[in-house]
Amino acid sequence: MKLEVSPKKVASYRRHGYTLVRGLFGKRETKRLRTYFTDMVERGGDGWAEGGVHPESDDPLKRYPRLLQPHRGDEVAMNYMVDERIRNWLTAFYGREPYAVQTMVYFKPPGARGQALHQDQRYLRAEPGTCMAAWLALEDIDEGNGCLTIVPGTQDVPMLCPGTSDSTMSFTGDQVPVPKKLKEIPVIMKEGDVLFFNGSLVHGSGPNLSKDRFRRIIVGHYIEGSSDKVAHYYFPVYRFDRSTVDGLEANPWGGGPCGVLVDKNGRQVIEMTGEMEGAKAAH
Ligand SMILES: O=C(O)CCC(=O)C(=O)O
């Protein structure tokens, strides 16, 4: 198990708001996670699938929807969220152990839409400080199967005002613009690599254009250990020893799940909660 952190990568994260750690997880682990969560969604999602599982749908994302917050009842997802390697890296970036608030598993089968450019902090609303992600590739990921794209240079920008995404390319309805002079770049990853990035960094992903390659990932989201607020959706807040944290407040500015699910015609699939309305109203 790779536990040591590299000072160079820590410095790079602090400067750029992201860093890619190659091979942080072994192939046996990624295979186990891949199989475990694929089995879960194929038997109906165990209650974690966004919008439920619809095996007969012609939308690949309805057959394989993302799993939201499975750590709240599933030990394997919890183990990922509080993994010691992730704890070590995040603690090195911020000089203090963060809190863990979210897990999501994406399957993105062949033909599935991606997720338009966004900033996670818009949804998590961690304060003071920001949120961060540990995004683990469960198989090799490139532009062909819908890799993550990021916009370097946005690591410190405030929340950008979103417009509407192209719902034939994205399963979420909002999209933030790429600031002038900055460029969206693909992040090509091998199975077992982890991309760490902060809550301001603009990122998203394209559709899976391949005929037969899934693009499975698991992502954990965290907030700084100095935060005293986070969006209500992210309670309970966990420490890495799995105990829950009392005393944080729900951020009155709203927030909610990462992205509002829309169908290919741009129609919202799941009713928006009051929290999300709050997030939209804030912009
Ligand atoms: O995996 C993707 O396509 C997008 C994930 C994402 O935006 C996130 O983890 O914040």
pLDDT one-digit tens code per residue, 152-170: 999 999 999 999 999 999 9
Ligand 1 geometric centre to CA of 169 (Å): 14
State whether the Cα torsion 119-125-131-135 is positive or negative.
negative
pLDDT tens readout for residues 64-112: 999 999 999 999 999 999 999 999 999 999 999 999 999 999 999 999 9
The response to whether residue 219 sits with its C-beta less than 6 Å from ligand 1 reads yes
pTM score over 0.85: yes
* Pocket-testing residue among 18, 37, 104, ligand 1, by greatest number of atoms within 8 A of Cβ: 104
Nearest to 258 by CA among 9, 107, 98, 50: 50
Ligand 1 geometric centre to CA of 124 (Å): 13
The pLDDT score that the predictor gives to residue 1 is 59
The pLDDT score that the predictor gives to residue 268 is 58
The pLDDT score that the predictor gives to residue 260 is 59
The response to whether residue 135 sits with its C-beta less than 6 Å from ligand 1 reads yes
List the residue whose alpha carbon is closest to atom 5 of ligand 1. Answer: 204
Contacts of 137 (CB under 8 A, 6+ apart): 30, 189, 190, 191, 192, 193, 194, 195, 217
Ligand 1 geometric centre to CA of 36 (Å): 20
pLDDT tens readout for residues 109-148: 999 999 999 999 999 999 999 999 999 999 999 999 999 9
Give dist(CA 9, CA 21) in Å, integer.
Answer: 8
- Report whether pLDDT(283) > 60: no
Q: Collapse the DSSP code of 42 into the 3-class scheme (helix H, G, I; strand E, B; otherwise coil) and give the result.
A: helix
Looking only at the bridges linking them, the beta strands covering 229-230 and 174-175 are unpaired
* Pocket-testing residue among 217, 222, 261, ligand 1, by greatest number of atoms within 8 A of Cβ: 217
* Pocket-testing residue among 115, 138, 260, 261, ligand 1, by greatest number of atoms within 8 A of Cβ: 115
Average pLDDT, the chain: 92
Give dist(CA 140, CA 216) in Å, integer.
Answer: 9
The response to whether residue 203 sits with its C-beta less than 6 Å from ligand 1 reads yes
Residues, the chain: 283
Ligand 1 geometric centre to CA of 115 (Å): 7
CB 167 within 8 A of CB 262: yes
The token pair that represents 119 in the structure block = 């900033």
pLDDT tens readout for residues 4-54: 899 999 999 999 999 999 999 999 999 999 999 999 999 999 999 999 999
pLDDT tens readout for residues 191-240: 999 999 999 999 999 999 999 999 999 999 999 999 999 999 999 999 99
